[in-house]
Structure 1
Amino acid sequence: MYDIIIIGAGTAGISAYKEAIKKTQNILIINDGPWDTTCARVGCMPSKILISTANRIHDISHVSALGLDVKATINTEHVMQHVQTLRDRFTRATLKDVESWPNEHKISGRAEFLNANTIIVNGQKLQAKSFILAVGTTPTIDTTQKHILGSKLLTSDQIFELNQLPESIAVIGSGVIALELAQALHRCGVKTTIFARSRRIGSLTSPTLQNLAQEVLSNELDIKFEVLPESYEVQNDQVHLNFTDSNKQQKLNVDYVLAATGRSTLLDSLNLENIDESFNDLKKLPIDPISKQLGEYPIFVVGDAHTSTPIQHEAAHEGKQSVNNCLNYPIIKPIKTLCPLGILFSSPQMATIGKSYKQLKDLNKEFVTGFVSYEKQGRAIVAAKNQGAAEVYIDVHTHKLLGAELFCPEAEHLAHLLAWILDEDITIHQILEKPFYHPTLEEGLRTALKHARRQLCS
């Protein structure tokens, strides 16, 4: 019987293994599919490679805003090869690490539970004192669409395997993955149409920022809000879509359809109902949000297999921290919660730090909103990146930062500063005593904080 069996070798599973191996050799990690993580193979890394290329193309095409006159010919023929070359570099690093593990510690295959301490994989029964479930997710696919479109329907797991950029594509969805890929493809010269079920775009919950994002991004992208394709047909190697927009029947022909409507957990592959009959409803699994424990069993679910925030650094943290609970069971300790930090790499970027606007409203928190527009922010104007805005949320009673939402240039860096400040648990008055160099984008945060402080002091 093993001390720990880890099921899934994504970011969370690999992190768990690296921590467990420090404390016991009696462990096993099982993985069904590639061992190079979703992040490196089809997620964070290849998407950021494509986005970086796309943004450079965009910058070259808009240098007139910097007083330059450049005649440039941009050839995107080798973009996908570039994406795949760098992607393979990152996956090789992960695989090299996995290959260094002892063979007796790893099995490739699909694991299924027979009972609370027994699984079967490749016909072999294996037992453990505790389990870490890090099976991750898979793109959500409409089976009817897949049946009609076949290879013309792509997901974020498949789009990076294209040999060439397509001439046209329809993106279904307006969330994080959809927006990042749609804007990148558009900037690479792909005729891109976004079909959004609602008017919401990206990750912002602030009504002010959400409306601003819709306005700014609609000026660049063809976004059809509250419109979805009604039918599909493949003819002459193209997809013909029919949809209704502004009460008019319309048609669109594209090379591919990208389904980017979210990801679904792979917990359904484990036969959890063999542990407890009630576990057949994955939406009602009794997973403790603090310890990640499944019911009263020595089983811990980590990473994006069961979370509303599928974020790489949180998955790594949960995988590592869950090992101690496995080895010390039945003594269970809370897994230290990291400051919530989510970033969307659109342009302008979006970010949510700490509590979002919606979360604060739902909690009936008394707070003031500090606002800054980046349209008139000095450094943003200098860089010709003066779009968007930012909000900070300050507790009326404690004067402490509760959270923030950003839709502005370099939000990825500003978001980290705000997350670190949140962890310091200090007041707005203490924050404003920090240095803000001139001229920088960070000065925009000071403007927002001052706006909030004026409301507190009025």
Structure 2
Amino acid sequence: MYDIIIIGAGTAGISAYKEAIKKTQNILIINDGPWDTTCARVGCMPSKILISTANCMYEIRHADNLGLDVKSEIDTSRVMQHVQTLRDRFTRATLKDVESWPSQHKISGKAEFIDSNTIQVNNQTFKAKSFILAVGTTPAIDAEQKQILGDKLITSDQIFELEQLPKSVAVIGSGVIALELAQALTRLNVNTTVFARSRKIGSLTSPVLQKLAQEELSKELKLKFEILPEHYSVKGDLVHLTYTEENVQKMLQVNYVLAATGRRTLLNTLSLERISAEFKDLKKLPINPHTKQLADYPIFIVGDAHTNTPIQHEAAHEGKFAVQNCLKFPQIKPIKMLTSLGILFSTPQMATIGQSYKHLQDKNTEFVIGYVSYEKQGRAIVAAKNKGAAEVYVDTISHKLLGAELFCAEAEHLAHLLAWMISEERTIHEILDKPFYHPTLEEGLRTALKHARRQLI
């Protein structure tokens, strides 16, 4: 009997293995599919390579904003070759690490539970005192659409395998993945149309910033809010889709339909209902949000297998600390929660840090909003990136910074500063005592913080 069996070798599973091997050799990790993580193969890394190339092209085209006249051309086959070359570099690094593990510690195959202590893989059974489930997710696909469109329906799992970018794409969805890819494709000369189920884009919950983001990104992207395609057909090399806009039926022809409506958990592959009949409905799994424990079993579910925020650093953190609970079961402790930090790599970038506007509203928290527009912010103007705004949320009683939402240039860096401030439970007065160099984008945060402080006096 193993001390721990880890199912899934993505970011959370690999993190769990690296922690477990420090404490016991009696472990097994099982993985169905590639061993190179979703992040490295089809997620964070290849998408950021594509985005970086697209943004560079955009800045070349708009170099006149900086007093320059620059010309350039796009060869999308070279772009995709570049994406795949760098992507393969990142996946090789992960695989090299995995290949160094002892062969007796790892198995490739599909795992299914027989009971709470037993799993079956490749017609073999294995028992463990505890389990870590880190099976991750897969893109959500409409089965009927897939039947009609075949290989013309792609997801983020397939788009990075294309030899060259298509001339046109319809993106279904307006969340993080949809928005990042849609803007990158548009900047690389792909005629891109985005169909959004709701009037919401990205991750922002602030009504002010959400409206601003919609207005700003609509200048560049073809955004169809509250509109979805109604009918699909494939004719030759093109997908024909129809939709209704302002009571008028319209048709669009594209090379591909990119489904980016979210991801679904792979927990359904594990036959959890064999442990308990109540586990048949995955949406109602009794998972403790603080310990990640499944009911009262020595089973811990980590990473994006059961979360609405598939974030790499959180998955790694949960995988590591779940090991401690496995080895000390039944004396388990809550996993220390990291300050919430989500970043969307659009232009301008979006970020949500700590408690969002919606979360604070739902909790009826008394807070003030500090606001800054980046349209007139000095350093943003100098860099020709003077778009968007930022909000900071400050508790009216403790004066502590509770959260923030950003829609501005370099939000990825500003967000880290804010996350660290929140994790240290700093008051707005302590934060404003820190240095803010001139001229920097960080000065915009000072403006927002000062705006909040004026409301507290």
Q: Normalising by structure 2, what TM-score?
A: 1.00
Q: Partners in 1 of 2:165 and 2:74 — Cα distance?
A: 14
| Structure 1 residues 120-199: aligned runs within 5 Å | 120-199=120-199
How far does residue 76 in structure 1 lie from its aligned partner after superposition? 3.0
Deviation at 1:236, TM superposition (A): 1.3
Paired letter, 1:304: D
1:180 aligned partner, one-letter code: E
Q: Which amino acid aligns with 2:83?
A: V
One-letter code aligned to 1:194: V
1:200 aligns with 2:193: no
1:364 maps to which residue? 364
Q: Which amino acid aligns with 1:166?
A: P
Q: Distance in 2 between matches of 1:285 and 1:313?
A: 24
Match of 1:251 in 2: 251
- Determine the C-alpha separation between the residues in 1 that align with 2:79 and 2:13: 32
Q: How does 1:57-456 map to 2 (within 5 A)?
A: 57-456=57-456
Q: Secondary structure at the match of 1:77?
A: helix
Name 2:30's counterpart in structure 1: 30
SS in 2 for 1:331: coil
How far the C-alpha of 1:256 sits from its partner, in A, is 0.1
Q: Within 2, Cα distance between the matches of 1:429 and 1:84?
A: 48
What is the alpha-carbon distance in structure 1 between the residues aligned to residue 150 and residue 131 of structure 2? 37
Q: Equivalent residue of 1:295, what SS?
A: coil
Q: Which runs of 5+ in 2 are unaligned?
A: none
Secondary structure, in 3 states, of the residue corresponding to 2:28?
strand
3-state SS in 1 of match to 2:343: strand
CA distance in 2, matches of 1:67, 1:237: 42
Give me the whole-angstrom Cα distance separating, in 2, the residues matched to 1:75 and 1:86: 17
- CA-to-aligned-CA distance 1:191-243 (integer Å, 9 cap, x gap): 00000001100000000000000000000000000100000000011000000
Q: Is this contact kept in 1: 2:375–2:386, CA < 8 A?
A: yes
Q: Distance in 1 between matches of 2:273 and 2:76?
A: 50
Distance 1:418 1:282 in 2: 35
Alignment partners' CA distance in 2, 1:79 and 1:400: 46
CA distance in 1, matches of 2:342, 2:166: 30
Question: CA-to-partner distance for each residue in 1:62-109, whole Å, 9 max, x for gaps?
Answer: 000001122333333311111000000000000000000000000000
1:296-337 Cα deviation digits (max 9, x unpaired): 000000000001211000000000000010011110011000
Q: What does residue 45 of structure 1 align with? A: 45
Shift of 1:454: 0.5
Residue 160 of structure 1: CA displacement?
A: 0.4
> Residue deviations 1:394-429, cap 9 Å, x none?
000000000000000000000000000001111101
Q: Deviations over 1:41-68 (max 9, x none)?
A: 0000000000000000000000000011
Aligned length: 457
Counterpart secondary structure, 2:76? coil
Alignment partners' CA distance in 2, 1:71 and 1:322 = 53
Distance 1:320 1:197 in 2: 37
Aligned equivalents of 1:456, 1:297: Cα separation in 2: 48
Distance 1:99 1:72 in 2: 42
Asked if structure 1 preserves the Cα contact closer than 8 Å seen for 2:77 and 2:163, the reply is no
Letter in 1 for 2:361: K
3-state secondary structure, aligned to 1:36: coil
Give the partner amino acid of 2:42.
Answer: V
Q: Deviations over 1:253-280 (max 9, x none)?
A: 0000000000000000000000111000
- Once residues 75 and 258 of structure 1 are traced to their aligned partners in structure 2, the CA distance between those partners, rounded to angstroms, is 21
1:344-398 Cα distance to aligned partner (Å, 9 max, x none) = 0000000000000000000000000000000000000000000000000000000
What amino acid is aligned across from residue 14 of structure 1 in structure 2?
A: I
2:54 is matched with 54
Within 2, Cα distance between the matches of 1:46 and 1:356?
A: 28
Alignment of 1:1-20 (within 5 A): 1-20=1-20
Task: Tell me how far 1:252 sits from its aligned partner.
Answer: 0.3
Contact 2:60–2:71 (8 Å) recurs in 1: no
Q: Which amino acid aligns with 2:125?
A: K
- Secondary structure in 2 matching 1:244: strand
Distance 1:77 1:412 in 2: 29
Unaligned runs of 5+ in 1: none
Q: Which residue type is aligned with residue 244 of structure 1?
A: T
Take 1:267 and 1:77, find their aligned partners in 2: how far apart are those partners? Answer: 37
3-state DSSP class of the match of 1:394? strand
Does the residue aligned with 1:78 lie in a helix, a strand or coil?
A: helix
Distance 2:63 2:327 in 1: 58
